[in-house]
Amino acid sequence: MSTLNINGTSHAVDVPGDTPLLWVIREHLQMTGTKFGCGAGLCGACTVHLNGEAMRSCQTSVADAAGKKITTIEGIDPHGQHPLQKAWVAEQVPQCGYCQSGQIMQAASLLAKNNAPTKQEVVDHMDGNLCRCMSYVRIQRAVMRAAAEMRGEPGV
């Protein structure tokens, strides 16, 4: 039995320690915002935060996550009011939407450390989170918009 702290709530899960965190989040706890993409940690659709760091939940075992603070897309802001969530809508980022939770979680880890990134820093940080619809320019604009809002800049 492992205890996972997900979005501020403790969850006791009875799974083998080598079970990927993704499957516990999606199948056992029914938090389906975190997506299964490739299963090999290459696409970023399953990105969550582990102690504030973006990581691939398909490649993280329950044993490695136990006792740490896990944040999923459902926990970033349950009312959709995080600056990134609002910027995603304003910039019309989603097309199919499949990668978006992983994209937002990856971007949130950047903005938590640096709310004034350059475009190149955004590109570098988001590298590895794939978008089948090729919405990369919109994603970059949304991250920059969210960063400006977080800095309190007017006109956002």
Cα(83)–Cα(75) distance, integer angstroms: 14
- Quick one: average pLDDT of 33-61? 97
pTM of this structure: 0.94
Strands 47-50 and 2-6: unpaired
Domains in the chain with CATH codes = 2-75 (3.10.20.30), 83-150 (1.10.150.120)
When pLDDT is cut at 50, 70 and 90, the band that residue 21 belongs to is very high
In the chain, the percentage of residues whose pLDDT exceeds 90 is 94
DSSP states along 40-101: SSSS-TTEEEETTEEEEGGGSBHHHHTTSEEE-HHHH-TTS-SHHHHHHHHTT--SS-TTHH
- Dihedrals φ, ψ of 44, to 5°? 90, -5
- Tens digit of pLDDT for each residue in 49-90? 999 999 999 999 999 999 999 999 999 998 999 999 999 999
- Tens digit of pLDDT for each residue in 4-20? 999 999 999 999 999 99
**SS3 category, 38:** coil
User: CA-CA-CA-CA torsion for 27, 28, 33, 39, nearest 10 degrees?
Assistant: -50
* Whether residue 156 has pLDDT greater than 70: no
CB-neighbour burial class of residue 78 (10 A; exposed 0-12, middle 13-18, buried 19+)? exposed
Say if CB 46 and CB 34 are below 8 A apart: yes
In the chain, the percentage of residues whose pLDDT exceeds 70 is 98
